[in-house]
Amino acid sequence: MPHLYTILLAILFMPALLWGESKYRMAQESCGLSFIVKNKLILVQGEAGDEAGYFLFDTGASELVLNKRYFGRQRGYESDHQYTDVHGHRGQHGYVFVSHFQWGGLERDHFYTPRLDLSPLEAMLGERIIGIIGYDVLRNVETVVDYYTGSMQLFRIDEIPFPSADGRQPDFIIPFQLDGHLPVIRGAAGEAGKLRLGVDSGASVNLFEIRLRDKLAGKALQQRTIPLLGAGGGEKRTPYFVMENLQVEDAYFIHYSRVALSDLAMLRNFGFQVDGLIGVNFFRLGRVSINYRSRCFRVWLGQNDYTMRLQLVNPMKMMSLE
């Protein structure tokens, strides 16, 4: 069976009148939880209303989204609001009232949130997916992801940055800017430099703007097409390059980096100024934390099948941190 790549990023916005008055809260300073990996994507367990199950951990999503298969539309409220996926496909989404949501120690009561058809994602992953956890949830905590151990920690956002359990300082700290809800860092590949790249853990592959094709092709070691699944369930074949390397900030190169190409007009139409997306591979670096208040990633490099292809931009700077 051919591999199906996913870009679950969907652009949708909540009307202010539906946000509700409640806020996310976390009683304890921190909590630990586990996750599973399917098709490279991170699935965490949580609860919404009477449903419990897996949520996609998705830094490319703007908010909490629930699967319409398990959550009925709020009666008395008819939505004509649309969402747009990475292929430009549009669809209507409804809303559901959530009496209680819990993910680890993070909770919220009595609010509305969008509902979408996530059955294509369920079919691809072979798991019961009740929703997607996005920016509006993640901004309330510092999240530390240890991809290869399947463990995650949540730290209350009003606490100082957490100390590493083993006493290690992070190997590097990567500041990011927020473009809407997307954390954006700088990158370069082929002849394309100073790229603005959104970090999207809901993407199983890196995705660059199609207009960069000529600047990438000269340094591509392989070129083919792949099937790409969008949030709307539509599948589209897109160009796919294996690049000599992808540079991220002044921190590291990843050799033989894979990049899909697509028209990202839907992002521009909503005001996003990015040249592409770095997918969930970013979290395969080892132990990675994301903090939306300090707007930085902290990275403790691990030794794994992904970092075997990693080269530091400035090894002497790394030695000075030890």
Q: What whole-number distance in Å separates Cα of residue 296 and Cα of residue 158?
A: 15
Whether 166 maps to a domain, the answer reads no
Same domain? For 201 and 144 the reply is no
Q: At 68, which CATH number?
A: 2.40.70.10
Residue 319 pLDDT: 37
- Per the structure block, which two tokens stand in for 62? 């703007």
pLDDT range class, residue 311, cuts 50, 70, 90? very high
* Count of domains observed in the chain: 2
Reply yes or no on whether the pLDDT at 18 is more than 60.
Answer: no
pLDDT tens string 168-208: 899 999 999 999 999 999 999 999 999 999 999 999 999 99
Whether 162 maps to a domain, the answer reads no
Whether 167 maps to a domain, the answer reads no
pLDDT tens string 21-75: 569 999 999 999 999 999 999 999 999 999 999 999 999 988 899 999 999 876 5
94: domain range?
5-156
Same domain? For 309 and 182 the reply is yes
Whether 165 maps to a domain, the answer reads no
Q: What whole-number distance in Å separates Cα of residue 247 and Cα of residue 26?
A: 36
Please return the burial class of 321, using the count of CB atoms within 10 Å of its CB with bins 0-12, 13-18 and 19+: exposed
Q: What is the pTM assigned to this prediction? A: 0.90
pLDDT tens string 212-246: 999 999 999 999 999 887 655 667 889 999 999 99
